[in-house]
Amino acid sequence: MTPTSEKRALPLAAVLAVLTCLWFPGTQAGVVGDFNHVERCKDSLYMGTPPRGYLSTSYTKICQRYEDKPRFVTLYDTIRHIPIYSAYTFKKSDGEKKVDFPWMFEPQLASEKSSSNMEPFPQSTSMHMNFEDTQAVLEDYADVVQYERGQLNPDEHQADPLDKASTYSLTNVVPQIREFNIGPWAEHQDLMRKRLNNYCRGKAYVVTGVTTSGHTIRRNNLDRVAVPEYMWSAYCCTEFDQNAPYFVRYKFPVFAAYGLNDRVNNHMVEVPLKNLEKFLKGRMDVDKNFQIFYSDCVSDI
């Protein structure tokens, strides 16, 4: 290389470094400003577009990374310490639930300089104080026998062991009344799993979320974790079996459901997507343009 070319190479390298930062911002994701511009986070979203219309300023976007790979995305309420929704791609599975994975937390909710991967809770509970201001910790669920940890992205909707493990983050969990969790909610998740297994021929996108009530889990005389009033879920699969029986086919490409998180009157109600959005607008802090899936999951093709 000539002296002249050496002089030119240095500025060129600097320019490339700057362009790399501009083209691939935040390649290490955890807490993010925008799902669409970080790694493969947007792959969990139909048309790379998150639900729109949420108004609260206390919500934080999390690209849920495990073992250095984005797994799904979550909109998280750092005041109420619960996810508002998790969005993920459904993977065909046998419905088996793994119970040997450790519960994890999101380090970057406590410090943006921390690891971008979710991490297991430290064995020393005193260390949990370092991040409990912005998220739920294991102690919040320790003495509340009436609640179960309900996953928005459920283990049973994933197939790869690492994808399944990633669902065991408390940032993907809300307190569900036990009778609702093991009854109507579990039954609906399994119904959705079987339907998508059998009739979805392409990629299925799922968004599962909550509406909040005035109830909270308290610890040390402090409000710690909000208890959802309603749970809801919607799926979008534009490539499906056109020969499916009518009672199944009319629930494609998109359908939804919601249920009351309670001991009684807690059955799940299946509804068209627009019906769910109308139901939620009266119960959440969203604007008139609230939309769960881009273009209501209507393919442009």
pLDDT tens for each residue of 266-293? 999 999 999 999 999 999 999 999 999 9
Q: Residue 7 has what pLDDT?
A: 39
Which amino acid, residue 101? F
Determine whether 22 is exposed, middle or buried from the number of CB atoms within 10 Å of its CB (0-12, 13-18, 19+): exposed
CA 164 to chain centre: 13
What does the alpha-carbon distance between residue 105 and residue 141 come to, in Å, rounded to a whole number? 14
Give percent of the chain above pLDDT 70.
88
The answer, yes or no, to whether residue 230 has pLDDT greater than 50, is yes
pLDDT tier at 3, thresholds 50, 70, 90: very low
Q: Residue 32 has what pLDDT?
A: 79
**Structure-block tokens of residue 280:** 């939620």
Domain regions of the chain by residue span: 29-297
Q: Residue 300 has what pLDDT?
A: 62
**Helices (H), ranges, the chain:** 3-23, 161-166, 178-180, 186-199, 246-249, 273-281
pLDDT tier at 28, thresholds 50, 70, 90: low
Q: Which of 11-15, 222-226, 274-278, 290-294 has the lowest mean pLDDT?
A: 11-15
pTM of the model: 0.88
Q: Residue 208 has what pLDDT?
A: 99
Q: 29-297: what fold?
A: Extracellular Endonuclease; Chain A (3.40.570)
Q: Residue 199 has what pLDDT?
A: 98
- Candidates 200, 189, 205, 195; CA nearest to 73 is 205
What does the alpha-carbon distance between residue 191 and residue 172 come to, in Å, rounded to a whole number? 21
Rounded to an integer, the average pLDDT of 10-22 is: 39
Rounded to an integer, the average pLDDT of 193-211 is: 98
Tell me if 223 sits within 8 A of 201, measured CB to CB. Answer: no
